[in-house]
Structure 1
């Protein structure tokens, strides 16, 4: 018995040293036939502005072998015009060596790119390279493709003299741009403005978007002469994502602003008139043939809900304007804001849950005070003619007039298609009058050609359907003879931003 304990200890030590006891997936194979598999055959960076780093692209590397492999080198060769950076197992650089992947396991590789400003024009250019993996003498490659583009960069700029932004290269806004008092910023036809997260174009002077563009006939929705405002994330998954940048802000004293043939998309606030203490001269904006799309402050940290058109004691007129797919309000007019909408379409479809109506009037601002100074409660004013207010809100209520009985005389809606149950009467706030069409049934006739709930093709289209109840129901308005796409208004005209095409 006195030899039993030492013998057991000896046997235990020997067992630990046996090669078969090491997990098979931890044993590194030296077999030259061991190969890796990849989640992508090409890592693609959509158009990237020069000098601006891209988001990180993910590439999963799979080891399908039962044993571990040691990747002796992972490298992405930099070349003139572009610098790559890899992040592997927490280590950053352009090369990683002796990286082990256990059997039946995977490795995450993050790739970033920064493009140098080499070409001088604003046209996109292509840069390609190979991400190399060397394992047991074998080389495998994954293509990395980057599209670069030069741009004008505006970082905390304050515009102090009359300026024109040309359309030869995109404009990229960082940390907001301010148009100073008494100064006019003119944005030429076809200009593209991309704003970084949280950035605004703040106008204390005057903004003229596309002031001289005069098409000779009908245009297409993607007409190259449109001025476009959107976020600076160019990846496909961000193409229609709301809340990516701030918006256009018009402050006290900003008058004579005109936006024509302009698209504003993917911001937290679309057109924002800021004059909370009702001072003079009030901000003033005119929209003509404008589209606002995908506007929302959700998950952005704002203390109030977003709107495509938000006015605090400002004056807004809009005609032939489309507001669509906002996660919150489309039009939010507070205090004594004055809003006039003619031939406008509000098609506020959302992919999530929306609790806000598309149109809200309120005598109170969305916040109670600024720097301890209380904000005044004042009566807003709304005039709406030949327009559509529609959406897919849960309770089918797209109009709201907070304390509306106090300013019922300021609300004038006529010959419009409205989705409302609360105001489906002829009372002081009721809309069953003035030629309005309330709550038309969807199916077998439909209001719009293509919506998220009834898609046709790959794109949404808020032009009128063939038998739309809005067809031929408008009243001609002086000075407005064409629609959003510059097509002639017929007689009688159609309600909304679009005149239906002839069969």
Structure 2
């Protein structure tokens, strides 16, 4: 009986409380909505690739609960946009995500509208390779109508992707000679070989690659000046045995636009993704690939920028890279394995492990390069520069290979850790030398003995240790050196390259690194 009385008492209070409120009495909107933005700019997207989700906050500043009779796109069901209003998708069928009725909004409250798009540029009648697509979100109609503009720049592109079996959903994988024994090996790597018609990347349209685009034996992939190459997640390029990669960028007149540079990055164009590491895989120069050269390229946001394997003893270097930048790699900027690399005017920065790693021996010659690491996204195990002459397999068996050359002349090797170079020797042949370079190494446990004896002219000559390079903004990959840099004038004319990365002539006293010093604009 007590429980019944208690229930009736509470029920009575509930009825009394409800009868004193008019929460469910909504008045029609009178055009008094306020908005956090007057225009929604969806960042540039590629044709047929979905955008990120953008949001608009809508406010009811009045003291009355209101109902918005309709929220819709001006282009109706033909709109290439879609929206979600506070978790609701709107009317079913063709109007889903396009049309909403009787949207309630409490007094002094707000709601979120989320907007996305996927646009096929070929349906827009675009005459150029890009098209500005616009629409409006309409709130109510007639005299009370309010609106917000929605704008997206859509770019056309050349899409390269593996085939997919429509019945099983199986995606094409690559088969090629991985180990150089003359036998074709099956892999689980999704991708396909480029056709002859696809072997030249021009600057007419961007290229968007899904999976790995492979270059077959005897073929050369050429990227012309101004080409733009974008990779989807877990994608990249593979240069197989007997194939070559030629990246032929050129000096740009505008260092901000880099109009003649070949730019290689992920396929998300939103500013949020501009500097996110690990968005795609790698450019993989397989054992047996030959005559690879890269000039005036920017490679960013990969897992490994360049993975270079094998051919350490050929008469010409496996890879020649000049006037290029590689940064924001989640693992390595350049990872060499028993290979040969020649580099001039190259900047490497911001890598989750090492910016340059020459592993399992090989031959490496770096001149006027800035090898830095200002990674701050997580703990990193390795310094900016790593050299070793061995590998360890899954059975903990150690295999040694000669490091026949590793010369770093007129370079800067620096970062936000200490030391910023590490030498790991297992075999008898471990030839290296640092000359006329600015180096960060201040480890009392290592320096002064063995391969870290900085007084031994066989390995070290005319270097400066642990002084400030005065980088412009290293955490933002701006690696020019300022007027207070200790790299100024420490280089040697014996090793000099005529111009720096920006085409400025080197004359008089020679600065170390990829850039001559400058005065930064405040």
TM class by shorter chain equals: 0.7 to 0.9
3-state secondary structure, aligned to 2:230: strand
Alignment CA distance shift 1:104-1:319 (3 Å): same
Deviation at 1:331, TM superposition (A): 0.8
Q: Which residue of structure 1 lines up, in the alignment, with residue 409 of structure 2?
A: 385
Q: 2: CA distance between counterparts of 1:293 and 1:439?
A: 22
Matching residue within 404, 418, 421 for 1:399: 421
Q: Which residue of structure 2 lines up, in the alignment, with residue 37 of structure 1?
A: 34
Q: 1: CA distance between counterparts of 2:153 and 2:504?
A: 36
Q: 1: CA distance between counterparts of 2:304 and 2:246?
A: 19
Deviation at 1:229, TM superposition (A): 0.3
Correspondence 1:97 to 2:132: no
Q: 1: CA distance between counterparts of 2:128 and 2:77?
A: 19
- Equivalent residue runs for 1:121-270 within 5 Å: 123-134=129-140, 138-156=144-162, 157-161=192-196, 163-204=199-240, 205-210=243-248, 213=250, 220=255, 222-270=257-305
**Paired residues of 1:253 and 1:281 also in contact (CA < 8 A):** no
Q: 1: CA distance between counterparts of 2:506 and 2:78?
A: 51
Deviation at 1:171, TM superposition (A): 0.9
3-state secondary structure, aligned to 1:52: coil
Matching residue within 108, 111, 115 for 1:107: 111
**Paired residues of 1:28 and 1:70 also in contact (CA < 8 A):** no
**Paired residues of 1:122 and 1:149 also in contact (CA < 8 A):** no
Deviation at 1:335, TM superposition (A): 1.1
**Paired residues of 2:247 and 2:262 also in contact (CA < 8 A):** yes
Q: 2: CA distance between counterparts of 1:426 and 1:218?
A: 48
* TM, length-normalised to structure 1: 0.82
Q: Which residue of structure 1 lines up, in the alignment, with residue 471 of structure 2?
A: 448
Q: 2: CA distance between counterparts of 1:86 and 1:309?
A: 42
Alignment CA distance shift 1:79-1:152 (3 Å): farther
Matching residue within 466, 469, 479 for 1:439: 466
Q: 2: CA distance between counterparts of 1:48 and 1:69?
A: 36
3-state secondary structure, aligned to 1:492: coil
3-state secondary structure, aligned to 1:241: coil
Give a deviation string over 1:307-328, Cα, whole Å, max 9, x none. Answer: 1011222222111001122333
3-state secondary structure, aligned to 1:93: coil
Q: 2: CA distance between counterparts of 1:52 and 1:218?
A: 32
Deviation at 1:439, TM superposition (A): 0.6
Q: Which residue of structure 2 lines up, in the alignment, with residue 421 of structure 1?
A: 442
* Structure 2 unaligned blocks of 5 or more: 90-95, 163-191
**Paired residues of 2:470 and 2:481 also in contact (CA < 8 A):** yes
Q: 1: CA distance between counterparts of 2:134 and 2:296?
A: 36
Alignment CA distance shift 1:411-1:21 (3 Å): farther
Matching residue within 334, 337, 361 for 1:336: 361
Alignment CA distance shift 1:56-1:177 (3 Å): same
**Paired residues of 2:158 and 2:206 also in contact (CA < 8 A):** yes
Q: Which residue of structure 1 lines up, in the alignment, with residue 508 of structure 2?
A: 491
Aligned residues: 471
Q: 2: CA distance between counterparts of 1:5 and 1:492?
A: 95
Alignment CA distance shift 1:34-1:478 (3 Å): closer
Matching residue within 340, 359, 365 for 2:385: 359
* Structure 1 unaligned blocks of 5 or more: 297-305, 453-458
Give a deviation string over 1:112-166, Cα, whole Å, max 9, x none. Answer: 1122224566643312111122299832222211011111111134114372111
Q: Which range is displaced more, 460-469 or 4-13?
A: 4-13
Correspondence 1:410 to 2:431: yes
Q: 2: CA distance between counterparts of 1:185 and 1:376?
A: 33
3-state secondary structure, aligned to 2:303: coil
Q: 1: CA distance between counterparts of 2:336 and 2:365?
A: 12
Q: 1: CA distance between counterparts of 2:288 and 2:231?
A: 24
Correspondence 1:46 to 2:43: yes
- Equivalent residue runs for 1:47-62 within 5 Å: 47-62=44-59
Q: Cα RMSD (Å) of the superposition?
A: 3.6
**Paired residues of 1:121 and 1:169 also in contact (CA < 8 A):** no
